[in-house]
């Protein structure tokens, strides 16, 4: 790999990486893998009815958030960051603000 991104933003700023990621995510196998992972969301598995305290629910919620965050970040790796236009100052109009 030509570039060596260290962050998600750096990855998304590299067009050839986001393009390759999109191509990979378009593949039938990876789509099936992601669907399978979505079926395995922690919230799809219930906690025991007895012996489950508040800490277990808090922990389960944290696991769920992390799991969903991973899947979202995997998908966003195929989306390039939007290009920002440089703002040019213009004093052509009167500004009374």
The pLDDT tens digits of the residues spanning 7-58 come to 999 999 999 999 999 999 999 999 999 999 999 998 888 877 777 788 888 8
Structure tokens at 38: 């979505």
| 69: in domain | yes
| Higher pLDDT among residues 8 and 89, named by residue | 8
Cα distance between residue 75 and residue 79, in whole Å: 8
| 41: in domain | yes
- Tell me which residue has tokens 């277990």: 56
Closest CA to 73 of 25, 26, 32, 39: 25
| 52: in domain | yes
| 73: in domain | yes
Q: What is the structure's pLDDT at 96?
A: 65
Total domains in the chain come to 1
Which domain does 76 fall in, by range?
Answer: 31-80
Number of CB atoms found within 10 A of residue 26's CB: 10
């Amino acid at each position: 790999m030509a570039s060596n991104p260290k962050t998600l933003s750096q990855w998304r700023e590299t067009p050839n990486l986001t393009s390759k990621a999109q191509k990979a995510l378009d593949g039938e196998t990876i789509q099936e893998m992601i669907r399978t992972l979505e079926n395995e969301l922690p919230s799809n598995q219930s906690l025991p009815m007895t012996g489950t305290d508040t800490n277990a629910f808090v922990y389960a919620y944290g696991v769920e958030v992390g799991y969903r965050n991973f899947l979202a970040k995997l998908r966003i790796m195929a989306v390039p960051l939007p290009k920002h236009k440089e703002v040019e100052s213009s004093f052509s109009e009167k500004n009374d603000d």
